[in-house]
Amino acid sequence: MKVLIADKFEQSGMDGLKAAGCDVVYQPDLADAALADGIRQTDAEVLVVRGTRVSEAMLDSGKLALVVRAGAGYNTIDVAAASRRGIYVSNCPGKNSIAVAELAFGLILALDRRIPDNVGELRAGKWNKKEYSKAKGLYGRTLGLLGVGNIGQEMVRRGQAFGMNIAVWSRRFADTGRAAHAAQEIGFDTSRHETTLEICDSPEAVAVRADVLSLHVALTPQTKGLLSARVLDRLKPGSYVVNTARAEVVDHEALARAVRDKGIRVALDVYANEPSSATGGFADPLVALPNVYGTHHIGASTDQAQEAIAAETVRIVRAYKESGHVPNVVNLCRTTPASHMLVVRHRDRPGVLAHVFDHLRAAQLNVQETENIIFEGAQAAVARINLDGAPSAQVLDTMQRGNEDILDLHLVAL
């Protein structure tokens, strides 16, 4: 199996793919038209990327069957186009959670102690202890989290370790019954009585309570612009905002107004107009404002995280190569359009299922899913065939009478 790696990737991952019997092509600088050409020229069946965008044209340029995003998100991949072509898209969720949480908490500390400004003035030969002795401190304050997936849960643990109260909003807790078990689900230690946990019913409710507001949601149509003017208006003056998630979940104009008008301090690792290459020029009006700090989209960029992601990528590709199954696949239907299941008990002989499928095709019925379970001794089997409609009684009768190896069949409405 040919695997094209079109981004920076750990040597341990390449060694693992080769050990799995893959022919690995490592071209980490491919992008845009060059990537489409690379897919075409290598005849790769598997494409591995990190931040590189994968467009519909690229998916059309070769014979890809699987795209692996060596990271948590997959918004840089045209998943809808992949689905139309029957190309699996998989990712590596949770493998960079600790790394991102570590950066997010580092940014919180930097905001509170104004560490970058301290360093800048010292390097300029200026001593200003009076100015930089004005930190608020984190103990006893409230860490507000929008999203408590893998990364958000790591933030809960770190917030508690600093003695912070936690306020969270997540769509997973829209069900009040589930919210009752939130502490256990997100890793909040209820034995630590000096800290509290509050499950909020909206981002606005979190903002009202938060001294520090940190975003940890995936980018979806529902979360785009989640940190809106309406949410920012509810923050206390002088609060902190940290975004290590996706740039698009923030209304940047509203955030800039909050910085100017309310003294909000901001730390960002993601931006609206990031360079497509690892180095280059950069300009963002938000970063130019006072009290705004930034890092270079490095949330997942620790050796530990990259090794874990490489190992997970190897596991995904190996599973696909050896079994045809894809772990962590993101673009399969949760429910199929199937309305009926045809159950066929038959002798395990050639041509039985081909006979069944011929009759289904003649009846203009589409097979959505199928499985064939073999009994011990491999003499008989049961096929379960999910269909988008119901065969008529006449079709079923003709089907059964037409092949003596069909022992029984019946239809189940789904």
- Write the pLDDT tens digit of every residue in 87-143: 999 999 999 999 999 999 999 999 999 999 999 999 999 999 999 999 999 999 999
For residues 88-127, one letter each, b for 16 or more C-beta atoms within 10 angstroms of the residue's C-beta and e for the rest, the string is bbbbbbbbbbbbbbbbbbebbebbbbbbebeeeeeeeeee
Q: Check residue 177 and give its pLDDT.
A: 66
* CATH architecture entry for 340-413: 2-Layer Sandwich (3.30)
* CATH architecture entry for 97-299: 3-Layer(aba) Sandwich (3.40)
Do residues 104 and 155 lie in contact, with contact meaning Cβ atoms separated by under 8 Å?
Answer: yes
Which residues of the chain carry a pLDDT beneath 70? Answer: 176-177
> 108 CB contacts (<8 Å, ≥6 apart)?
138, 143, 212, 214, 240, 242, 267
Assign 42 to helix, strand or coil: helix
Tell me the domain boundaries of the chain: 2-95+304-323, 97-299, 340-413
| Dist CA 169 CA 184 (whole Å) | 15
Query: Which is the catalytic residue, given 121, 185, 274, 307?
Result: 274
Do residues 77 and 89 lie in contact, with contact meaning Cβ atoms separated by under 8 Å?
Answer: yes
* DSSP 8-state code for residue 236: P
Q: Check residue 334 and give its pLDDT.
A: 77
If we measure between CA atoms, which residue out of 116, 411, 76, 128 comes closest to residue 291? 116
> Is 274 among the catalytic positions?
yes
Q: Check residue 277 and give its pLDDT.
A: 72
> Is 410 among the catalytic positions?
no
Is CATH 3.40.50.720 correct for 2-95+304-323? Answer: yes
Q: Check residue 242 and give its pLDDT.
A: 98
Q: Do domains 2-95+304-323 and 97-299 have the same CATH topology?
A: yes
Query: Which is the catalytic residue, given 114, 209, 216, 246?
Result: 246
Beta bridge partners of 292: 266
If we measure between CA atoms, which residue out of 171, 193, 192 comes closest to residue 182? 171
| Dist CA 159 CA 148 (whole Å) | 13
List C-alpha distances in Å: 402 to 150, 189, 347, 397: 55, 65, 14, 8
Q: Check residue 202 and give its pLDDT.
A: 95
Query: Which is the catalytic residue, given 53, 113, 257, 297?
Result: 297
> Is 172 among the catalytic positions?
no
